[in-house]
Chains A and B, each alone.
Chain A
Amino acid sequence: MNKIKKLSPQARETIVGYSFLAPAIFFFLTFVAIPIITGMATSMFNYTQKKFVFTGIENYIKLFNDEIFIKSLFNTTKLVVISVPIIVLFSLFAALVLYEKHPVVRAIFRGIFYLPVVTGSVAVVVVWKWIFDPYNGILNYLLLNLGVIEKEIQWLGTKEFALWAIIIILITTSVGQPIILYISALGNLDVSQVEAARIDGASEWQVFRHIKWPGIMPTTLYVVVITTINTFQCFSLIQLLTSGGPNYNTSTIMYLVYETAFKKYQFGYANAMGVILAVVIGLFSLVQFKIFSSKE
């Protein structure tokens, strides 16, 4: 006790500060840092139920010759490249339109868009599965009765449609959060700047381009990065709807990690896939930070 009293106020402040941080650091180390390190380390092993043999970078070499992994990487990238811009643009559009509405209307629509986010993904996916069901689904029922199609379409089982069906579901479940963030960001803009620009004769497009857009740029950066990461990690939709099929045409890296680890029991190989995914996400995020930061 006396020793603590002898410490300088700055040292005591440091100790207290780290003491407050300790629980967070403990959980971070236990649930984030150590699993990451363990995952990276075991990716260098032929690690199955029966074996645990160091193989160096063999898993990584095997990955880049694995056509299923390449297909899954391509699908994942396609999912990101298509859905992220749509999610960002739609969210921005919806937020701009809703922000001008009466607060009650705004609240109702915020609730509607946010509903898929707060509803459990399994429940949402089950509803979509019913919609897309080839034999009892409402989509085929409507299209058949309207004469648009002659035979049931297997929306989730045909390579031409399956990934698009996934993208549609992904978009509907992903726009809620960005819309809320954009509405908040728009609320934080300096209204006097907007009004001054309008008085000076600026068009609505000019107001948006030169005042609103720069003002919400930090939010855009956050939305783009988070949406990209979430899309790269798309798993539950795939697992519950298509199991990666048909013929791995909707398989994503995250789903393949699951299948490799828990269906094929190749833990080391699955970890190698996880490491590659982390690297790809890191690179994408870096590029996005560069692009949006420079515009800021």
Chain B
Amino acid sequence: MKKLFAVIMVALLVLTGCSKKEENTAVETKTEDAKVEITWWAYPTFATVDGVAGKYEESVIAKFNEKFPNITVKVEMLDFKTGPEKTITALQGGTGPDVLFDAPGRIVDYGTSGYLVNLTDFVKETGLASDSDPLIIKASSDKDGNVWMYPLSSAPFMMAVSKNALEEAGLLGTVDFTKWTTEEFIDLSKKMQEKGYKGVQIYALNQGGDQGTRAFISNLTGARIINDDLTAYTMDTPEAIKAFELVKQGMDEGWLEGSTSNNAGDAITAFVNPQNSTFWAVNLWSLNLQKQKTPDLEASGIEVIHATLPSPDGKANLEYLVNGFAIFDNKDEAKIAAAKEFVKFISDDPVVGKENVIATNAFPVRNSFGDLYPGNELMNFHKGLTANYGVYYNTVPGFANMRPFWFGSLQSLITGEKTPEEVAKYFTSEANKTLAE
């Protein structure tokens, strides 16, 4: 039945023109002249050249072809909104790519679903396993230790504070944002509220940027979203309940802003909005966001201070992104071998590999690449934060199913439909069910 359904899906895709002709021809191996063609699907993580998505990727392919002229790579850009659905539909119809540039959350899911080439041996053969932080290799693996993603770069998520707002309020320099505590955060929030600024948004419209609220809330009291061996969510502990109570108190008193009609993207837009300077901080920021939002920040004149998340001891447990490659098992050994060469070149080439890491505006997974941003104070601060990486849980079973329970629970907290304790217990109980699925 599944095969019949797959055939029908393929027929539909072909008939509707959803799968371009080039894609289909691109996956045909031209064995007669030993040439191989592979397709590469990529999210726009690399820096754009001349503002054109895909131009940087084309330049990488050109460099690859100087060394490997027999391997033709066709790149197709995805976007973060529709890309996951497009990939799933293609995989169900058997028209997926050979290489995907994405993040562990989705990639490990594709791997455990049987679509990918297991890279456990590959990371050992290339020396990546011994030349990187084991935490990143673990983040690229499933719970049984199978490596599904070949990681390239990584960077932490943190907060952004408006320097202008602090200056206007006369509070600039009163807090060290590289190690601020929850107490300092609350104190500053209340002072900013008195000056007419709105509190940090607790956004809960949907799952967009939901890692921001999870990290922010749990760190307030030193709670942890999940245990270290990734077997149970732990947001019903006394610390976690206290964190939800603190958030509720903040929203009631007005030094935090609960928003069920905004997601992280909306909160960030509100923070950098040239017509709006009512928010003094936002709880989700990254180096990439800094780059993306530069035009807005220039228009609004807002200067951003990068801050770690507030926590009881000033040492927050941070979430982070990992960029990397997946190789699809399209039952063609020549393609798999070509895809491995391509991934190895992009990630490990002493020159191109480093360029690519820099193009992601993140830090290399390979320790031997060294410091790619010498003398850059901001990058040094972020590099320092990588020591505070928490356990990476985006790859646990049922992660996608857990997310609606998180923002749904926050909505209940914001609207008052559930008490903080009920929220903590409801979320943890439902999230643990998704782990078992």
Which A residues are in CB contact (< 8 Å) with B273? 136
Interface centre among B11, B91, B273, B400 (most CB of A within 10 A): B400
CB-CB under 8 A for A247 and B412, given A30-B15, A49-B109: yes
Q: Are B1 and A264 in contact (CB under 8 A)?
A: no
Which A residues are in CB contact (< 8 Å) with B174? none
- Choice from A38, A41, A242, A262 contacting B85 with Cβ under 8 Å: A262
B434 → chain A closest CB, angstroms: 9
Which A residues are in CB contact (< 8 Å) with B407? 245
Which B residues are in CB contact (< 8 Å) with A215? none
- Choice from B198, B275, B401, B415 contacting A158 with Cβ under 8 Å: B415
Main secondary structure on A side of the interface with B:
loop
Which B residues are in CB contact (< 8 Å) with A133? 261
Which A residues are in CB contact (< 8 Å) with B301? none
- Choice from A42, A52, A154, A259 contacting B261 with Cβ under 8 Å: A154
CB-CB under 8 A for A243 and B206, given A30-B11, A136-B270: yes
Cα(A222)–Cα(B12), bound, Å: 30
Which B residues are in CB contact (< 8 Å) with A246? 204, 260, 411-412, 414-415
For residue B205, CB closer than 8 A to chain A, the reply is yes
Cα(A65)–Cα(B5), bound, Å: 28
CB-CB under 8 A for A245 and B411, given A41-B1, A42-B1, A136-B276: yes
B36 → chain A closest CB, angstroms: 27
Q: How many residues of A contact B (CB 8 A)?
A: 34
For residue B84, CB closer than 8 A to chain A, the reply is yes
A147 → chain B closest CB, angstroms: 19
- Taking CB atoms and an 8 Å cut-off, the chain B residues in 101-151 that contact chain A are 109-110, 112-114
CB-CB under 8 A for A50 and B84, given A134-B261, A135-B276, A264-B400: no
Q: Are B1 and A50 in contact (CB under 8 A)?
A: no
Which B residues are in CB contact (< 8 Å) with A262? 84-85, 88
Which B residues are in CB contact (< 8 Å) with A47? 2
For residue A257, CB closer than 8 A to chain B, the reply is no
Interface centre among B4, B5, B8, B84 (most CB of A within 10 A): B5
Cα(A49)–Cα(B408), bound, Å: 24
Q: Are A263 and B207 in contact (CB under 8 A)?
A: yes
The digit string for B246-275, where 1 denotes a CB below 8 A from any CB of A, is: 000000000000011111000000100101
Q: Are B113 and A50 in contact (CB under 8 A)?
A: yes
Which B residues are in CB contact (< 8 Å) with A264? 400-401, 404
CB-CB under 8 A for A136 and B261, given A38-B8, A50-B114, A157-B205: no
Smallest CB-CB separation from B203: which chain A residue?
A157
Cα(A156)–Cα(B198), bound, Å: 19
The digit string for A21-63, where 1 denotes a CB below 8 A from any CB of B, is: 0000000001100110010011001010110100000000000
Main secondary structure on B side of the interface with A:
helix
- Taking CB atoms and an 8 Å cut-off, the chain B residues in 265-297 that contact chain A are 270, 273, 275-276, 278
The digit string for A136-159, where 1 denotes a CB below 8 A from any CB of B, is: 100000000000000000111111
Q: Are A247 and B415 in contact (CB under 8 A)?
A: yes
Cα(A195)–Cα(B125), bound, Å: 92
- Taking CB atoms and an 8 Å cut-off, the chain A residues in 149-197 that contact chain B are 154-159
Which B residues are in CB contact (< 8 Å) with A263? 207, 400, 403-404
Which A residues are in CB contact (< 8 Å) with B261? 132-134, 154-157, 242
For residue A90, CB closer than 8 A to chain B, the reply is no
Smallest CB-CB separation from B418: which chain A residue?
A247
Smallest CB-CB separation from A243: which chain B residue?
B206
- Choice from B1, B278, B417 contacting A247 with Cβ under 8 Å: B417
- Taking CB atoms and an 8 Å cut-off, the chain B residues in 371-406 that contact chain A are 400-401, 403-404
Which B residues are in CB contact (< 8 Å) with A155? 261
Cα(A154)–Cα(B259), bound, Å: 7
CB-CB under 8 A for A157 and B260, given A247-B411, A263-B207: yes
Smallest CB-CB separation from A133: which chain B residue?
B261
B234 → chain A closest CB, angstroms: 22
Which A residues are in CB contact (< 8 Å) with B278? 135
Which A residues are in CB contact (< 8 Å) with B12? 30-31, 35
Q: Are B1 and A52 in contact (CB under 8 A)?
A: yes
Q: Chain A residues in contact with chain B, CB under 8 A? A: 30-31, 34-35, 38, 41-42, 45, 47, 49-50, 52, 132-136, 154-159, 242-243, 245-248, 259, 262-265
**24 A-B pairs with C-beta separation under 8 A:** A30-B12, A38-B4, A42-B1, A49-B109, A50-B112, A50-B114, A132-B261, A133-B261, A135-B198, A135-B270, A136-B276, A154-B260, A156-B261, A157-B415, A242-B205, A243-B206, A245-B206, A245-B411, A246-B412, A246-B415, A262-B84, A264-B400, A264-B401, A265-B109
Across the A-B interface, the 7 shortest Cβ-Cβ residue pairs? A157-B260, A157-B261, A243-B206, A49-B113, A246-B260, A246-B411, A156-B261
* With A38-B8, A41-B1, A159-B417 already in contact, 14 other A-B pairs whose C-beta atoms are closer than 8 Å: A38-B4, A50-B112, A52-B2, A135-B276, A242-B261, A243-B263, A245-B408, A245-B411, A246-B204, A246-B415, A247-B415, A247-B417, A263-B400, A264-B404
